[in-house]
Structure 1
């Protein structure tokens, strides 16, 4: 059976490392990126099942990354979960599958990611 893949995207390395530690259960392959442009390359090459991305990032923010993923038929089935300190996110702004508020609860991240992995 193929191992499911999760891409973690945040411009703060400490946050990426923390999420990797929390999700690293040996059951999923964890990929990391530190900006939206790098994330888009990884999404096209590696085809992760779930992308967990920060909204506020340099070069290409999480909302734009989400729009690009959802508008590309070859990768549009990828689940995108946004992480943001902005407590309201307009669905018209970005067709994300989920939203986790920062500062985040570790349990909420694990539950959100596994909800989509188990589908």
Structure 2
């Protein structure tokens, strides 16, 4: 029975190059051209090996690997992270088993063959094993390094903003969420990523949420719209706005704020008035 490899990469030429090498080793290659498609493939099929490009739009490689580790905690397939720069995080931070630095095809073939020899001998590396593979005489890509630093900085802002943030793609599926949003909706990361936004809310609130998405989409003069929903007996204020990318509509941003307990607020005011 042929082994199956999932390759998630938005570079068509690199995808074809890697596919040819893997097929020569008698792998059946399943292709996904972005992180969203990669998640869909993972949920529908089984694989023996996964290659994931770290830099992809919407759902990037780090998000996809995090999803994979959470969704399949007992899986034994190796994950290879791909990037055109040397790793900026440790493999444990990325969640991958191996790291491959991308470069020109004529320089990469040998490194990939060495990597595959190692994987086929020992799919999950021991702590002492070599896990980073890089073509010879590679020139560092400073522009890409700066891009990753910028992405990491923006992600840090999203985590530190003090409210739940959910970014929704044009097809109404979630592509980014911060940890506070996960806490508010009481969902784990793998249960949210690439899911329809309304599916993470209680059934009785879904029509209101969908209505707010449609409202800002159809009335583009609105900067935002807000509504209240109840989640796990908590009153949550949602602020929904359009996500614009270079003037085009790219989806929505949904902010979630837990409203203070009205009874506690009233009690606090009474205490202040009695002083």
User: Do these two structures clear the TM 0.5 threshold for a shared fold by scoring above it?
Assistant: yes
Residue 51 of structure 1 aligns to a residue in which SS?
A: strand
Structure 2, unaligned runs of 5 or more = 123-275
Query: Is contact 1:6-1:49 (8 Å) kept?
Result: yes
Residue-pair matches, total: 118
Give the Å deviation of 1:108.
1.7
Return the alpha-carbon distance in structure 1 between the equivalents of residues 37 and 74 of structure 2. 16
Residue 63 of structure 2 aligns to a residue in which SS?
A: helix
- Name which one, 1 or 2, has greater alpha-carbon Rg: 2
Residue 29 of structure 1 aligns to a residue in which SS?
A: strand
Q: 1:113 to 1:7 in 2, by over 3 A?
A: farther
Give the Å deviation of 1:95.
1.3
**Equivalences for residues 16-95 of structure 1 within 5 A:** 16-25=15-24, 27-73=26-72, 76-88=75-87, 89-95=89-95
Match of 2:268 in 1: none
Give the Å deviation of 1:59.
1.4
Residue 14 of structure 1 aligns to a residue in which SS?
A: helix
TM-score normalized by the length of structure 1 = 0.85
Relative contact order (C-alpha < 8 Å, sep 6+): which is higher? 1
Whose helix proportion is higher, 1 or 2?
A: 2
Query: Is contact 1:4-1:117 (8 Å) kept?
Result: no
1:109 aligns with 2:108: no
Query: Is contact 1:69-1:78 (8 Å) kept?
Result: no
Q: CA RMSD in A?
A: 2.0
Query: Is contact 2:61-2:81 (8 Å) kept?
Result: yes
Structure 1, unaligned runs of 5 or more = none
Give the Å deviation of 1:41.
1.2
TM-score normalized by the length of structure 2 = 0.40
Query: Is contact 1:7-1:48 (8 Å) kept?
Result: yes
Residue 83 of structure 1 aligns to a residue in which SS?
A: strand
Give the Å deviation of 1:98.
0.3
- The CA deviation string for residues 4-60 of structure 1, in whole angstroms up to 9 with x for no partner, is 111111111111011112222262111111001101111221211111111000111
Query: Is contact 2:81-2:100 (8 Å) kept?
Result: yes
